[in-house]
Amino acid sequence: MILDMAIAPGEVTTSLIILVMVFIFVRVLGSKGRKQVSPPGPWSFPIIGNLLQLGDHPYLTFIEMRKKYGDVFLIKLGMVPVLVVNGMEMVKQVLLKNGEHFAGRPNMHTFSFLAEGKSLSFSVNYGESWKLHKKIASNALRTFSKAEAKSSTCSCLLEEHVTEEAAELVKVFAELTSKNGSFDPRNAITCAVANIVCALCFGKRYDHGDKEFLRIVKTNDDLLKASSAANPADFIPCFRCLPLKIINAPREFYRAFNQFVARHVQDHLTTYDKDHMRDITDALISTCHNKYATTKTATLNDDEIISTVNDVFGAGFETVSTCLYWSFLYLVFYPEIQTRIQEEIDGNIGLKSPRFEDRKVLPYTEAFINEIFRHASFIPFTIPHCTTADTTLNGYFIPRKTCTFINMYQVNHDETIWDNPSLFSPERFLNENKELNKSLVDKVLIFGMGIRKCLGEDIARNEVFIFIVTVLQQLKLEKCPGAKMDLKPTYGLAMKPTPYQLRAEPRSEAGTS
């Protein structure tokens, strides 16, 4: 009986072959049914992922990884998969062509405290409410930043505030040189630029020695020191419980910053007069309380107004002040470039107070500013993005809610775009007629692009221009004898140069208007 039930050896072999073939067939069908393969990337450690491999300058590490894995690759920060995007074409694909699918923000510990998570720049949620929020903020910024606003009832105009603060900065530089012989310009620059944002947002300026004002400026500076593109608390949740400064600093800094902004906004809500627009805060209140009052369209509540002002205030002076701090270093580092800019200023506007429209007649100065943006690349990454839906990039499948880093530094130093990218050369932005090459300017990444592009790009470019021209009209910036200077940055959310000292002497040979 037992022998009757046994299976012959040949039948066993045949059955195994059939099973193997069925298994292979199912796998082939399954692979065809899948969307696409995941991006390549380096091997990662358990728990910490690739955090230890990033080094002091992650944007440079990613450039090295790009040589092996291509423009699109996947790493792990902690246990979180992070898509890293390099190369202009892939960046355009992410931010422009497929922008809606990459328009989200990851839920990161570092930024969760900013305006209690309602920040326009850092908001995790992307949708119709966010789009309305952005439109309202853009309109308010436009109202107070365009020269044509002079014909309106607005009493707070960007151009006026910038020219006044730039003139004040010249005095401060001269006084510091007279008093100390040399000085680090960072605090003076930050205070001057922050005052412009205060004027735009709150209709007032502060004395450079005001204690509350200096505390907020320092708070922002400390926040940047504690923030980076790879804060471990953002990617390893258990780290948030540790008593480390890099983990807990953002909460303390954002709390003080939020309270400062909220106090001013609440004061505006109390004193608001629809017939007298004082600043951006009033413009936001007007838009929300009047324009949409009779419609069913969702609008901003008071907390969201505070968060919008928070965005304008925070972003409005960090990019500009950092750019100016780099600019004055480069002008001292390359005195021949400083001389050429001064000759252009003398020959075209003399000692006339510069205006935004003068950017058209000072192409070399504009080229210098763009080369600062490109060469220093002091904002190496965009604020991290996050996919809003399953999507594909460069043939790879990217799941929904994938954190995405855009390496703007790499694009700004890509040898396929820029000749000798390590060389600092403003001339690269001028065509054969010595005019600004706008198509090349558009390839510089510092403000991002697409849906999440920085709202304040035009404002920032205008401010930087006015400050540089005003200072170089009247002062000659000089290196301190024997002092060593280098252009190596200190990594952070916005990269700063190593602290340096300079002298600012009056220009006796300045042109006349």
**Bind-site residues:** 454
Angle in degrees, CA 313, 316, 319, rounded to 5: 135
- Which residues in 120-140 are b (16+ Cβ under 10 Å) and which e? bbbbbebeeebebbbebbeeb
**What is the DSSP pairing of strand 396-398 with strand 403-406?**
unpaired
Q: Tell how strand 385-386 and strand 403-406 pair up.
A: antiparallel
Q: Where are the beta strands (DSSP E) in 318-474?
A: 385-386, 391-393, 396-398, 403-406
Look at residues 222, 258, 289 and name the one whose alpha carbon lies nearest to residue 113. 258
Q: Are 137 and 308 in contact (CB under 8 A)?
A: yes
CB 254 within 8 Å of CB 113: yes
CB atoms within 10 A of CB 155: 13
CA–CA gap between residue 405 and residue 408 (Å, rounded): 9
User: Residue 85, SS3?
Assistant: strand
| DSSP H stretches of helix in 203-301 | 211-226, 232-235, 245-271, 280-286
* Residues in binding site for heme: 454
Residue 476, Cβ neighbours under 10 Å: how many?
A: 20
- Per-residue DSSP letters for 340-382? HHHHHHHHHTTTSPP-GGGGGG-HHHHHHHHHHHHHH-SS-BP
**Calpha distance 308→302 (Å, rounded):** 10
* Residue 493 burial by Cβ neighbours in a 10 Å radius (0-12, 13-18, 19+): buried
| 460 CB neighbour count, 10 Å cutoff | 23
